[in-house]
Amino acid sequence: MWLVRHAEVEERYHWVFGGRMDIELSPRGHEQAAALAGYLGQRSFAAIYASPMKRVQQTLAPLMANGAPRPVVLQGLREVDVGDWTGLSWDEVRSKFGVSAFHWLDQIESDSIPNGEGARALQARLEPCLRRIFQNHAGQRVAIFCHGGVIRMLLAMLLVFPLSKMAAFEIGYASITEVVFRPHRACVELLNFTPWRELAA
């Protein structure tokens, strides 16, 4: 299972909790998406699943132009709802709610973001997505194009870790994280690989 985060969003949304906002990619993000497509286009996938959100669909577009399988869009893969934090910068969250934005996963895990989606609710909507993928593609390579919050929750579920512990893992723009399933356990074989950065070096 290849977990792929969308590319960089518009600059005005950097260090902002976008959540359910339907944000577009920046010019740099489109370049990252093209580099990502170049890398992924050399691999074959039995299926591609994707969030319906604009930033994910724009990240997918160059890969689709290269003949990749038509993505299966699942509403359950959309980004976590950050409630009253939506559209606020990290500094604004600190000043309005007295919370360091660096602890955002702790806040989701404890269901402490006002009107936001807690970890249990997020897990509940991701579980059917995982079941569908496991049932339809056992033993096959599948890509999931989605969001940073969703990838961290999927990793927490697959590795049986608390969501807050996923703060130790960077999940950068247009990054790939590969999870391989072996008997009785899931193993991360690639974490936060960013082809647009490494291939340009």
The residue-averaged pLDDT of 85-90 equals 97
Indicate the domain borders of the chain.
2-198
| CATH class of segment(s) 2-198 | alpha beta
Q: Is the pLDDT of residue 168 over 60?
A: yes
36 closest CA partner among 58, 9, 12, 14:
58
Tokens of 149: 């919050």
Q: Is the pLDDT of residue 189 over 80?
A: yes
**What pLDDT score was predicted for residue 177?**
98
Sheet holding 47-50, edge to edge: 72-73, 47-50, 142-146, 2-5, 176-182, 185-193
Q: Is the pLDDT of residue 200 over 80?
A: no
Q: Is the pLDDT of residue 198 over 90?
A: no
Give 176's strand partners. Answer: 4, 193
The answer to whether the CB of 24 falls within 8 A of the CB of 54 is yes
What confidence tens digit (pLDDT) does each residue in 34-53 have? Answer: 999 999 999 999 999 999 99
CA atoms within 13 A on the CB side of 112: 14
Q: Is the pLDDT of residue 176 over 80?
A: yes
What confidence tens digit (pLDDT) does each residue in 95-122 have? Answer: 999 999 999 999 999 999 999 999 999 9
Quote the crossing angle between the two packed helices 119-136 and 148-159, to the nearest 10°: 70
Bridge pairing between strands 47-50 and 2-5: unpaired
**What pLDDT score was predicted for residue 67?**
83
**What pLDDT score was predicted for residue 78?**
98
Residue 183: pLDDT band (50, 70, 90) is confident
Residue 160: pLDDT band (50, 70, 90) is very high
Of the listed ranges 85-89, 90-94, 138-142, 195-199, the least confidently predicted one is: 195-199
**pTM, to two decimals:** 0.96
Q: Is the pLDDT of residue 201 over 80?
A: no
What confidence tens digit (pLDDT) does each residue in 14-36 have? Answer: 999 999 999 999 999 999 999 99
